[in-house]
């Protein structure tokens, strides 16, 4: 008996399985902006900035001349005036720098309303204190590659001895972060630190920076001692490259907060590769000495996936192109 599938074929073709066909290229075009934005580590939005309008009562530093009316709220237009209302220094700096149509809406001061006398405002307008806190943040970025954060206890965020003992800064990192802004300073691209002019920085601070900045810990052994493990010569080229990291002047392109992405292409993950290289060229006893002297934080942990050091050649020795500490002319 012969079969004729034409009728059933027509019926099957008319069935809708509810499948959504997505063109990959068009879908990518829609998502491109979101992917790029989501990949950014440093993002500060207008909603992160908090500026307070003038409270109605009298208070020290109240600005009544250089003000504007924003939706019925009287707002100071000066740094001093904003800070007198309890606005943090960096919130005020960024707010003033924005065009008027970009400024976030000012807020009523968060103080109790059912009171019989004007409350005191938590003040953040001591510029000497701002200066200490800003240097604290700069120091943290330069030596630890991150700004002090609002969260974190004294175990995860310690006060560097230099700041405490030499500059007499008693605040904890979280207190510094809170004094400067309502937002987390780590939301700001840290590249700003490389544009700070250091030629007139305090002598004590400059001497401390001379002890080292972030990103160079694992290069230090190659500067301090020649390899002593039998057969290290097999990695002589890699050792010479590692030594160049350590002996070239401290460089913004090498610093973790401002590192040139081309270094990853050229050398791979430098820290991971150095962690693998050190045990191949130094004896265990020497490495223990490095740890004991705090040249290294700990005995390097080997990670088999990072073998770029085996491809480092003499012509790949590092050259500092953007020194952190410029020589005086």
Same domain, 224 and 306: yes
- pLDDT value of position 226: 96
Judgement on whether residues 225 and 310 belong to the same structural domain of the protein: yes
For residue 155, what pLDDT is reported? 65
Residues 64 and 53 in one domain: yes
Query: For residue 106, is it within any domain?
Result: yes
Whether 47 and 110 map to the same domain: the answer is yes
Does 290 map to a domain?
yes
* 201 shares its domain with 134: yes
Whether residue 19 lies inside any domain: the answer is no
Q: How far is CA 143 from CA 212, 217, 301, 324, in A?
A: 7, 10, 22, 12
Query: Same domain, yes or no, for 311 and 221?
Result: yes
Question: 312 and 252, same structural domain?
Answer: yes
> Using CA atoms, how far apart are residues 132 and 160, in angstroms rounded to an integer?
13
Q: Which of 209, 232, 262 is the last residue in one of the domains?
A: 209
pLDDT at 21: 87
Residue 30 counted as domain residue: no
Give, for all 329 residues of the chain, the pLDDT tens digit: 777 888 888 888 888 888 888 888 998 999 898 888 887 878 889 999 999 999 888 888 899 999 999 999 999 999 999 999 999 999 999 999 999 999 999 998 877 665 555 666 777 888 888 999 999 999 999 999 999 988 766 667 788 888 888 888 888 999 999 999 999 999 999 999 999 988 888 888 888 887 789 999 999 999 999 999 999 999 999 999 999 999 999 999 999 999 999 999 999 999 999 999 999 999 999 999 999 999 999 999 999 999 999 999 999 999 999 999 877 65
Q: Which domain holds residue 156?
A: 127-209
Which of 188, 209, 230 terminates a domain? The answer is 209
Q: Are residues 163 and 248 in the same domain?
A: no
Residue 275 lies in a domain: yes
Q: Is residue 169 part of a domain?
A: yes
Domain boundary (93, 124, 155) is at: 124
Residue 291: the pLDDT is: 96
User: pLDDT value at position 158?
Assistant: 83
Helices (H) and strands (E) in the chain, counts: 13, 2
- What is the 3-state secondary structure of 61-92? CCCCCCEEEECCEEEECCHHHHHHCCCCHHHH
Number of separate domains in the chain: 3
Q: Is residue 92 part of a domain?
A: yes
């Amino acid at each position: 008996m012969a079969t004729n599938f034409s009728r059933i074929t027509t019926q099957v073709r008319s069935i809708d399985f509810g499948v959504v066909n997505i063109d990959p290229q068009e879908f990518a075009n829609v998502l491109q902006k979101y992917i790029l934005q989501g990949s950014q580590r440093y993002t500060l939005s207008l909603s992160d900035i908090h500026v307070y309008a003038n409270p109605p009562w009298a208070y020290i530093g109240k600005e009544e001349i250089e003000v504007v009316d924003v939706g019925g709220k009287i707002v100071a237009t000066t740094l001093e005036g904003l800070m007198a209302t309890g606005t943090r220094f960096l919130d005020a700096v960024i707010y003033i720098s924005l065009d008027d149509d970009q400024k976030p809406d000012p807020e009523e001061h968060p103080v109790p309303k059912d009171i019989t006398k004007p409350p005191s405002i938590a003040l953040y307008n001591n510029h000497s204190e701002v200066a200490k806190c800003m240097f604290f943040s700069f120091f943290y970025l330069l030596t630890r590659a991150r700004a002090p954060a609002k969260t974190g206890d004294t175990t995860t965020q310690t006060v560097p001895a230099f700041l405490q003992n030499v500059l007499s800064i008693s605040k904890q990192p979280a207190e510094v972060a809170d004094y400067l802004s309502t937002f987390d300073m780590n939301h700001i691209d840290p590249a700003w630190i490389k544009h700070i002019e250091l030629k007139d920085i305090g002598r004590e601070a400059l001497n401390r920076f001379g002890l080292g900045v972030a990103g160079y810990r694992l290069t230090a052994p190659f500067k301090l001692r020649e390899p002593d493990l039998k057969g290290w010569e097999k990695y002589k080229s890699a050792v010479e490259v590692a030594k160049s990291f350590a002996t070239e002047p401290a460089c913004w392109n090498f610093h973790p907060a401002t590192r040139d992405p081309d270094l990853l292409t050229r050398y791979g993950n430098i820290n991971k590769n150095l962690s693998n290289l050190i045990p191949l060229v130094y004896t265990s006893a020497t490495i223990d000495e490095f740890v004991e002297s705090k040249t290294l934080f700990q005995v390097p942990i080997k990670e088999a996936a990072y073998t770029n050091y085996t491809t480092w050649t003499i012509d790949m020795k590092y050259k500092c192109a953007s020194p952190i500490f410029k020589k005086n002319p």
